[in-house]
């Protein structure tokens, strides 16, 4: 038996460790009945833990893939800097991947309303932020938008704009790695795949691979409901700005609000799956979808050859970067009370 001891050695050890090609499959873990109201109906829900990638977030895969593909095609040879419009997971993942391929500096356009915590995270990872006053109602190709400015900067031969909203190597990463892993881990018995929508790379790439194996597999995309806050996920209006033809890769759309997303993320975390708000959003959308199917009496149509309804949703990252946001969206009754709170010396105002 060939045992993968998960050891990376030598001068290229970190680069090899960051390459998803060299990693063991990311865990696929079933939710207990406490988090699955449809367990009695034969529904099994499994979380694909993308948060367990080396960089702790789903964007590590497309970031590595986008940089690696550019390097392999010789397009990094003249490049001294990267530029991307991103205030979170994508740009710090890109910065780390880029360093492994010899590009030391990564810049990022960030919106003026970026939280201080997120800015600190970018600085921690050595990303150079450029604060941009984003248009209130951005339209495609708005010259004031960070996406446009990054694209423009990237026209210089010494600057590369990976362009996560239009670069096929973003969904390509999930077609190459996430889709095959899920198909093999579920032994082809998957009944439904459900993913949150940001750049839509996860959904497009994974769906492309899975539907190639089973063209009838239903795919559900979950967006953030209008005026709701779930960092990393997009509303319908914001999705209209994504260049990919994401609608062609899904069969149903659900929406989830902030409260559902943060509450379900906290519930999963408390049981040992350390996943963040967009994981709660994807689960919330999946549960809503199953509820509708049950109301319509159409749940049974999803049963696989074992008579079960096997659903998988990816968990993009962990809860820790968002800790201060949970009390804003989750009911106070969900939190333990602090005894002797009046003694605290450093309570935030």
Ligand X SMILES: Cc1ncc(COP(=O)(O)O)c(C=O)c1O
Which is closer to ligand X, CB of 88 or CB of 162?
88
Query: Smallest distance from the beta carbon of 59 to ligand X, in angstroms?
Result: 5
Which is closer to ligand X, CB of 43 or CB of 60?
60
In 81-189, which ranges are E strands? Answer: 81-85, 105-111, 128-132, 159-160
Element housing 14 (H / E): helix 13-18
> CA 297, CA 305: separation in Å to the nearest integer?
19
Query: Smallest distance from the beta carbon of 233 to ligand X, in angstroms?
Result: 6
The footprint of ligand X on residues 56-95 (CB under 6 A) is 58-59, 88-89
Which is closer to ligand X, CB of 154 or CB of 196?
196
User: Of 48, 90, 102, which Cα lies nearest the Cα of 66?
Assistant: 90
As a dihedral over the C-alpha atoms of residue 51, residue 53, residue 55, residue 61, rounded to 10 degrees, the angle is -100
The footprint of ligand X on residues 181-240 (CB under 6 A) is 196-202, 232-233
- Residue 187, by phi and psi: left (phi above 0), alpha (psi -120 to 50) or beta? left
Query: Smallest distance from the beta carbon of 200 to ligand X, in angstroms?
Result: 5
CA angle 76, 80, 85 (to 5 degrees): 85
Tell me which long-range contacts 134-141 makes (C-beta under 8 A, separation of at least 24). 138/238, 138/241, 139/241, 140/240, 140/241
Which is closer to ligand X, CB of 51 or CB of 304?
51
Which is closer to ligand X, CB of 28 or CB of 39?
28
The footprint of ligand X on residues 268-287 (CB under 6 A) is 276, 278
The footprint of ligand X on residues 315-334 (CB under 6 A) is 316-317
End-to-end CA distance of the chain: 58
Give the total of residues touching ligand X (CB under 6 A): 17
Tokens coding 299: 């749940």
Burial of 285 (0-12, 13-18, 19+ CB in 10 A): buried
Which is closer to ligand X, CB of 207 or CB of 304?
207
Which is closer to ligand X, CB of 197 or CB of 273?
197
Lay out the site mask for ligand X across 289-318 (x = CB under 6 A, - = otherwise): ---------------------------xx-
Query: Smallest distance from the beta carbon of 222 to ligand X, in angstroms?
Result: 10
Query: Smallest distance from the beta carbon of 278 to ligand X, in angstroms?
Result: 3
Which chain residues interact with ligand X by CB under 6 A? Answer: 58-59, 88-89, 196-202, 232-233, 276, 278, 316-317
């Amino acid at each position: 038996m060939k045992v993968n001891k998960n050891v990376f050695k030598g001068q290229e050890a970190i680069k090899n460790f960051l390459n998803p090609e060299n990693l063991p499959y990311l865990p696929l873990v079933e939710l207990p009945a406490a988090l699955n109201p449809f367990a009695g109906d034969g529904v099994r829900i499994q979380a694909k833990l993308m948060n367990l990638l080396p960089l702790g977030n789903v964007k590590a895969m497309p970031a590595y893939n986008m940089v690696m593909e550019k390097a392999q095609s010789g397009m990094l040879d003249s490049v001294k800097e990267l530029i991307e419009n991103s205030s979170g997971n994508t740009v710090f993942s890109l910065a780390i991947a880029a360093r492994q391929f010899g590009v030391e500096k990564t810049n990022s356009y960030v919106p003026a309303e970026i939280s201080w915590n997120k800015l600190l995270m970018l600085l921690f990872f050595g990303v150079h932020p450029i604060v941009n006053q984003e248009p209130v109602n951005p339209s495609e190709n708005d010259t004031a938008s960070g996406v446009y400015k990054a694209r423009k900067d990237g026209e210089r031969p010494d600057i590369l704009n990976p362009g996560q909203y239009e670069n096929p190597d973003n969904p390509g990463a999930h077609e190459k790695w996430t889709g095959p892993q899920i198909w093999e881990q579920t032994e082809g018995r998957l009944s439904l795949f459900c993913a949150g929508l940001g750049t839509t790379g996860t959904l497009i790439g994974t769906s492309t691979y899975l539907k190639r194996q089973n063209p009838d597999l239903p795919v559900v995309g979950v967006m953030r409901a209008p005026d709701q806050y779930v960092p990393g996920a997009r509303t319908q209006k914001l999705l209209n700005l994504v260049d990919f033809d994401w609608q062609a890769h899904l069969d149903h759309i659900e929406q989830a609000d902030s409260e559902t997303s943060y509450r379900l993320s906290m519930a999963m975390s408390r049981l040992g799956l350390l996943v963040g708000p967009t994981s709660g959003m994807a689960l919330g959308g999946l549960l809503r979808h199953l509820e509708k199917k049950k109301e319509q009496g159409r749940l049974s149509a999803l049963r696989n050859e074992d008579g079960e309804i096997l659903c998988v949703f990816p968990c993009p990252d962990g809860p820790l970067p968002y800790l201060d946001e949970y009390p804003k969206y989750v009911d106070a009754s969900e939190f333990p009370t602090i005894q002797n709170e009046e003694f605290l010396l450093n309570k935030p105002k």
